[in-house]
């Protein structure tokens, strides 16, 4: 029954695309985020649905879409340059087979990030894309939140639609993404036009936000807790009653702490005492190995270059017996440990050129969204009040991602690249509609109509 429902839903989306080709873009967003082919047992599992959706989206844009307002931005060029550089490092990768496996999905995510901004040229399309991304990720998040409420969750124990550890189904990744979409949820509530503003919509937004906050608890991912803290700080910029907001946050935290599972609080305590946790200590050793590796391989070792590391990890734990405290020192030998950081992932795999390109793409996004927010935030005219909040929401989402990326290897995460693509589209769209040339063009008919018409010789005035 589940197979039939998933196949039917995807089929309806693809069929609707023949009437409105942009729906194929939305279908690809849904398929790439939720991965229904992984959930399916036989119908979708046997078909390359992601390839079908992307081919349809690209073909629909080429044949049926208006390309007059499509623009190619600097960030799209940088993403394309990063794509080419990743291809070169893949050819000379330290581990060719593993690198080829990662390249098989990375190039698709980067290509779609270049393509998506070309299709987002109206407010309705921005709303539809944001709504599709939020609801698609929300379908995974709601499932995890329900399981957290019922079972309490657990590290590597909270399974979503599938027992899979890739994409948004990995615990640390979904914890980061769950917090990044919270600003987008409330942008849709306050400025969306697809759904009417009603108590039901607001109630769903509150429930989805609560579900997003539950995901770090259910997965027991320390990254998620840090992202929640950053979200609370970033929200101070937009809330009207800041002291009331701070009091509410403090009160909510005090009320929630007694209900948190002991396994969660024990795991979160290792943020402060990382030496007592093997996982946290391993990350520091891997990061140091990556720095040393980049000194010898400044152009990177290709995807999955971490497989060449051999590590010795020391851990320390304090044991108290009455008034005496002793420190127990342990050592573990390990190898082929992943980077657990997007920054070191880029450094190890793509070297200094790839890392600088990636950082340039990220920094441009923060800067561009800040410029758009400042330019549009004081406007009160009709149709001019949704732009600044969307720029702010996309900026907050990216900053939260950049924090989470410090502890999770998600440099090429498709969902985040979609957010970056949306930033590119918003930047070029608002620059286009706000350009002086367009403003002069809009005023030209009125000026022409007001110009006096010359009279013929001997023609009486007023005739």
pLDDT (0 to 100) of residue 302:
94
Per-residue confidence at 187, pLDDT binned at 50, 70, 90? very high
pLDDT (0 to 100) of residue 461:
45
- For the chain, give the secondary structure using H, E and C: CHHHHHHHHHHHHHHHCCCCCHHHHHHHHHHHHHCHHHHCCCCHHHCCHHHHHHHHHHHHHHHHCCCCCCCCCHHHHHHHHHHHHHHHHHHCCCCHHHHHHHHHHHHHHHHHHHHHHHHCCCHHHHHHHHHHHHHHHHHHHHHHHHHHHHHCCCCCCCCCCCCCCCHHHCHHHHHHHHHHCHHHHHHHHHHCCCCCCCHHHHHHHHHHHHHHHHHHHHHCCHHHHHHHHHHHHHHCCCCCCHHHHHHHHHHHHHHHHHHCCHHHHHHHHHHCCHHHCHHHHHHHHHHHHHHHHHHHCCCCCCCCHHHHCEEEEEEEEEEEECCEEEEEEEEEEEECCCCCCHHHHHHHHHHHHHHHHHHHHHHHHHHHHHHHHHHHCCCCCCCCCCHHHHHHHHHHHHHHHHHHCCCCCCCCCHHHHHHHHHHHHHHHHHHHHCCHHHHHHHHHHHHHHHCCCCCCCCCCCCC
Find the mean pLDDT for residues 177-194.
94
Per-residue confidence at 284, pLDDT binned at 50, 70, 90? confident
pLDDT surpassing 70 at residue 372: yes
Task: Tell which wins on pLDDT, 278 or 233.
Answer: 233
What is the domain partition of the chain in residue ranges? 1-65, 274-335
pLDDT, tens only, 4-13: 888 899 999 9
Per-residue confidence at 199, pLDDT binned at 50, 70, 90? very high
pLDDT (0 to 100) of residue 139:
92
Mean pLDDT lowest among 84-88, 99-103, 449-453: 449-453
pLDDT (0 to 100) of residue 456:
43
pLDDT surpassing 50 at residue 458: no
Per-residue confidence at 279, pLDDT binned at 50, 70, 90? low
**Average predicted confidence (pLDDT) for the chain:** 84
Find the mean pLDDT for residues 325-329.
57
Find the mean pLDDT for residues 360-367.
96
Per-residue confidence at 453, pLDDT binned at 50, 70, 90? very low
Task: Tell which wins on pLDDT, 331 or 415.
Answer: 415
pLDDT surpassing 50 at residue 40: yes
Mean pLDDT lowest among 199-208, 262-271, 296-305: 262-271
User: pTM for the complete prediction?
Assistant: 0.85
Tokens of 417: 């690249």
Per-residue confidence at 321, pLDDT binned at 50, 70, 90? low
Per-residue confidence at 25, pLDDT binned at 50, 70, 90? very high
pLDDT (0 to 100) of residue 442:
46
pLDDT surpassing 60 at residue 398: yes
Helices 222-235 and 171-180, packing angle to 10 deg: 10
Find the mean pLDDT for residues 79-99.
95
Per-residue confidence at 252, pLDDT binned at 50, 70, 90? low
Q: How far is CA 151 from CA 144, 146, 264, 266, in A?
A: 10, 9, 13, 17
Per-residue confidence at 457, pLDDT binned at 50, 70, 90? very low
Tokens of 6: 């998933």
Q: Of all residues in the chain, what percent carry a pLDDT higher than 90?
A: 52
pLDDT (0 to 100) of residue 283:
82
Q: Please state, in angstroms and rounded to a whole number, the distance separating the CA atoms of residues 281 and 273.
A: 10
pLDDT (0 to 100) of residue 235:
86
Provide CB contacts within 8 A for 394, sequence distance 6+: 183, 184, 365, 369, 419, 422, 423, 426
């Amino acid at each position: 029954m589940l197979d039939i429902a998933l196949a039917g839903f995807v089929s309806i989306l693809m069929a609707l695309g023949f009437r409105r080709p942009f729906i194929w873009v939305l279908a690809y967003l849904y398929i790439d985020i939720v991965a229904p082919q992984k959930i399916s047992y036989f119908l979708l599992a046997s078909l390359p649905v992601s390839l079908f959706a992307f081919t349809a989206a690209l073909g629909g844009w080429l044949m049926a879409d208006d390309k007059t307002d499509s623009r190619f931005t600097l960030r799209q060029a940088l993403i394309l340059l990063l794509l080419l550089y990743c291809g070169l490092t893949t050819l000379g990768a330290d581990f060719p087979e593993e690198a080829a496996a990662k390249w098989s999905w990375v190039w698709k995510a980067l290509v779609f990030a270049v393509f998506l901004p070309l299709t987002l040229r109206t407010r309705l399309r921005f709303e539809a894309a944001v709504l599709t991304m939020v609801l698609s990720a929300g379908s995974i998040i709601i499932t995890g939140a329900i399981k957290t409420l019922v079972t309490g969750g657990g590290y590597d124990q909270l399974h979503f639609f599938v027992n899979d550890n890739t994409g948004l189904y990995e615990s640390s990744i979904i914890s980061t993404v769950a917090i990044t979409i919270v600003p987008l949820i409330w942008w849709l509530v306050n400025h969306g036009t697809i759904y009417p503003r009603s108590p039901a919509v607001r109630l769903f937004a509150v429930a989805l936000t609560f579900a997003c906050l539950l995901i770090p608890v259910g997965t027991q991912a320390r990254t998620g807790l840090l992202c929640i803290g950053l979200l609370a700080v970033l929200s101070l910029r937009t809330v009207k009653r800041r002291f009331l907001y701070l009091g509410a946050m403090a009160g909510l935290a005090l009320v929630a702490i007694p209900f948190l599972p002991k396994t969660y609080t024990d795991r979160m305590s290792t943020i402060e005492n990382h030496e007592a946790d093997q996982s946290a200590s391993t990350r520091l050793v891997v990061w140091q190995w990556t720095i040393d590796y980049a000194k010898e391989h400044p152009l990177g070792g290709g995807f999955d270059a971490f497989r060449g590391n051999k590590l010795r990890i020391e851990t320390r734990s304090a044991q108290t017996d009455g008034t005496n405290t002793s420190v127990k020192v342990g050592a573990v030998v390990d190898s082929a440990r992943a980077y657990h950081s997007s920054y070191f992932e880029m450094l190890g795999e793509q070297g200094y050129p790839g890392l600088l390109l990636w950082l340039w793409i990220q920094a441009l996004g923060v800067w561009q969204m800040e410029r758009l927010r400042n330019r549009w935030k004081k406007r009160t005219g009709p149709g001019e009040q949704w732009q600044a909040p969307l720029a702010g929401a996309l900026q907050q989402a990216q900053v939260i991602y950049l924090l989470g990326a410090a502890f999770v290897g998600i440099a090429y995460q498709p969902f985040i690249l979609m957010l970056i693509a949306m930033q590119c589209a918003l930047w070029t769209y608002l620059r286009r509609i706000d350009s002086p040339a367009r403003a002069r063009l809009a005023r030209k008919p009125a000026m022409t109509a007001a110009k006096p018409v010359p009279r013929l010789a001997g023609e009486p005035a007023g005739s």
